[in-house]
Amino acid sequence: MTIVRILFLSFLGSAVLTGCKNKPSSTVSTKEKPQFTVYNFEELEPLLNRDDNAIHIVNFWATWCKPCIEELPVFQEIHETDKNIEVLLVSLDFPDKVDEQLKPFIRK
């Protein structure tokens, strides 16, 4: 379990988040794609530890993970069709790759 936590903390530098009301660190938006917010782990942790009896879907993914990318449209559809479900997409891309890989991927 310790190795899982270490890996989680090591790779979790950025998150793709939909539907959060906290003040964002950085926000990117395009006309065609939904807005997303980039959080560091300290900002993301409270979102993962909420006890509000709501339905939350948390999906960990990465731009280099083909199966992860293939399932992203499903999460987008859930977000668009059921406003009672909060979808939280957490990118496991390295923090130093956010501008270089993650943001361009989301803009596509």
CATH number of the domain enclosing 40: 3.40.30
The answer to whether residue 101 is domain-embedded is yes
The answer to whether residue 50 is domain-embedded is yes
Q: How confident is the model at residue 7 (pLDDT cuts 50, 70, 90)?
A: very low
The answer to whether residue 5 is domain-embedded is no
Answer yes or no: pTM beyond 0.75: no
Query: Burial letters for 26-60: b for 16+ Cβ neighbours within 10 Å, e otherwise?
Result: eebeeeeeeebbbbebebbeebeeeeeeeeeeebe
Say which residue, 27 or 90, is predicted with more confidence: 90
Closest by alpha carbon to 16, among 27, 8, 6? 27
The answer to whether residue 6 is domain-embedded is no
Enclosing domain of residue 39: 11-107
pLDDT surpasses 70 at 48: yes
Closest by alpha carbon to 44, among 66, 63, 67, 60? 60
pLDDT surpasses 80 at 76: yes
| pLDDT score recorded for residue 9 | 38
Closest by alpha carbon to 14, among 103, 108, 107, 76? 103
pLDDT surpasses 90 at 96: no
The answer to whether residue 58 is domain-embedded is yes
Q: Average pLDDT, whole number, for the chain?
A: 70
How many separate domains does the chain show? Answer: 1
pLDDT surpasses 60 at 87: yes
| pLDDT score recorded for residue 29 | 40
